[in-house]
Structure 1
């Protein structure tokens, strides 16, 4: 019996080719995607938790000492010095009673750079923020006004958050009578950084309260912007203020509008809410330097009253 021989191998076998170790292209693409997603996830974790190191800039948080700086700009070049001395005494006695700081400065101490000297009030506010970096609030009150009730601290009268929120006029035209820009409806008392009132014509810029901090610096610098100082607004810094609160949401979002009689009642009713006995402040809006309508004449009706309220002879 014959058996078939197996086929003889060729004496010239094909060259050896090692098996490829590369993955198929689709699989390699998937692995690359997974690796990129993993690296992105790790990077996000690092940014969230691993890189929280103190930066070079830290916003100063005022300690609240003094709690309020009461700022008034006087102009002895055009106003009677006897009248201005009563203004100075009024501010200093009130501040002394409540542990505030009274900052009475002269208008000509500031260079308004060609703008009307009334712009000095904004420069004085900026000066107060620099001079008293730890104060909590700046209250600017113009020279044509008296504080009439010394028993009321600014905190209990306006600034305490719940009290302020109860006073705030919400969803109301910022500039009367029909501005389409209205005060915010959801602003809380503790979040308000700028407190102001209205008269019949617009915002009462001669009695305003600003909370010290980063926002206050932004607000003051915006109000004093060279563009507004050179724009030749009809009522200078007042119209500039009304412009920025309507066109800058960052300012409007911090604005608390309160009734005028809270800290800006007028001695005459023609332009706004008139002063009544027991009100906190009386302002002599529209008073003149000389004549029967002078500030000195108008204030003379209130000078004995506030001195009596302060316990002064």
Structure 2
């Protein structure tokens, strides 16, 4: 209904225009009062009946509440939302969103950097915690015995399968008193082996090789290697390989594990045909008609599992300064015959090198020994310094070479006209220099640079003084 003119109120209440009047009470109150007739009165019984009728209705069932519908709704809700509105509307929405956020005032680059760093750390908190846990595990692993036990376990590092046997004279000298040099050699050698076995989880058996009178008429300390190996096998029943090292040996490369250096590829690191390097000119293979095929073969059965003894050769034949023995029935038989006093009684005057000559004799005359004995290149486990086996000059197959990073050096025969302590000290210093980490190399480089500058300055100062003295003399 349209109004022809603007409405005006009446003096008694209401409006002059029709259609704007409402039923108000007689008072001037602006609140309308609704009057109910008698027919629309609500009683308690009728209200209670209506309430029962509402509660009795069935619950509302959503037609889209199925399994597939719910998952489709979740997937659609997780999809990114692209705002295709005009640019002005997007900027307005962005402005509304940023109104409730706190933004730092412009307080310089440092404050902005702190704010940015805090925001980034808050976003990458889970990554930071993960990296922190990883760093803590690495620190605990390398600064606690966890590293040693990990390397030692048979099903992880495999270190428990190897035992290093070191010959030492812990209580005193053999046949004579030990001097300061002998004590220093023993200290450095023992420390070197302890550090190596701790790094790789091996066992170390330090044997006191002091003179023992095994027989009433003869001293036999040089023959104690066999007896010592048998005792070590009884002491470490779960070990598989036993590595004998003389006291005058030094491990130059402690970063080489025995598994990586030799035993992971045993057939590639040894040779079983002695004709490859035969300084003793032993006839090989045997040709007896009564022998089995393995004894007639120059390489036995050719399998790595059948190798039970690994020996290097120097310029004079077999060398037992560093060799490996494997636990097996064949090894028990060999050690029994090797230690048999019958052979010692008959040949002890002829065998100058004792056990070494006895092993050469058994290899030459006992066919059952050859199929299970393998030879390893000497520089692989037993390099010599230039003074040993040096009658024919330096031999690339025998002597130590720094650029090839040989594993072990053996100062064999240094007590006969050479300086054992001097050689041990030089090779120890060389090993420390070759195995420096990056930080040690940096420190040595800085120290060397300062030393060079000081030396250069002294030379310049000395030259200037000499020139001044010459000028004074001439004047």
TM-score, normalised by the number of residues in structure 2: 0.48
The Cα of 1:255 is off from its aligned counterpart by: 0.6
1:225-240 equivalent positions in 2, closer than 5 A: 225-230=340-345, 231-232=347-348, 233-240=351-358
CA–CA distance in structure 2, aligned partners of residues 111 and 66 of structure 1: 33
> How many residues are aligned here?
248
State the Cα deviation string for residues 32-60 of structure 1 (Å, max 9, x = none). Answer: xxxxxxxxxxxxxxxxxxxxxxxxxxxxx
Asked whether the equivalents of residues 388 and 412 of structure 2 are also in contact (C-alpha less than 8 Å), the reply is no
2:92 matched residue in structure 1 = none
The Cα of 1:175 is off from its aligned counterpart by: 5.2
Pair 152,177 (structure 1): closer, same or farther in 2 beyond 3 Å: same
Does residue 1:207 correspond to 2:322, yes or no? Answer: yes
CA–CA distance in structure 2, aligned partners of residues 251 and 281 of structure 1: 27
Asked whether the equivalents of residues 308 and 328 of structure 2 are also in contact (C-alpha less than 8 Å), the reply is no
Three-state SS of the structure 2 residue aligned to 1:285 is: coil
Asked whether the equivalents of residues 146 and 306 of structure 1 are also in contact (C-alpha less than 8 Å), the reply is no
The Cα of 1:110 is off from its aligned counterpart by: 5.2
Does residue 1:180 correspond to 2:283, yes or no? Answer: yes
Asked whether the equivalents of residues 411 and 420 of structure 2 are also in contact (C-alpha less than 8 Å), the reply is yes
2:221 matched residue in structure 1 = 117
CA–CA distance in structure 2, aligned partners of residues 295 and 228 of structure 1: 32
The Cα of 1:153 is off from its aligned counterpart by: 0.9
Which residue, out of 201, 212, 216, partners 1:99? 201
Does residue 1:74 correspond to 2:189, yes or no? Answer: no
1:251 matched residue in structure 2 = 369
Three-state SS of the structure 2 residue aligned to 1:190 is: helix
Asked whether the equivalents of residues 193 and 210 of structure 1 are also in contact (C-alpha less than 8 Å), the reply is yes
CA–CA distance in structure 2, aligned partners of residues 131 and 184 of structure 1: 35
2:409 matched residue in structure 1 = 282
1:144-163 equivalent positions in 2, closer than 5 A: 144-160=248-264, 163=265
Pair 188,200 (structure 1): closer, same or farther in 2 beyond 3 Å: same
Please provide the CA RMSD for this pair. Answer: 2.6
Of structures 1 and 2, the larger Rg is shown by 2
CA–CA distance in structure 1, aligned partners of residues 434 and 338 of structure 2: 36
The Cα of 1:238 is off from its aligned counterpart by: 1.1
Three-state SS of the structure 2 residue aligned to 1:197 is: strand
Which residue, out of 293, 300, 305, partners 1:190? 305
Asked whether the equivalents of residues 71 and 140 of structure 1 are also in contact (C-alpha less than 8 Å), the reply is yes
Asked which structure has the greater RCO (Cα within 8 Å, sep 6+), the reply is: 1
CA–CA distance in structure 2, aligned partners of residues 197 and 65 of structure 1: 23
Does residue 1:90 correspond to 2:192, yes or no? Answer: yes
The Cα of 1:139 is off from its aligned counterpart by: 0.3
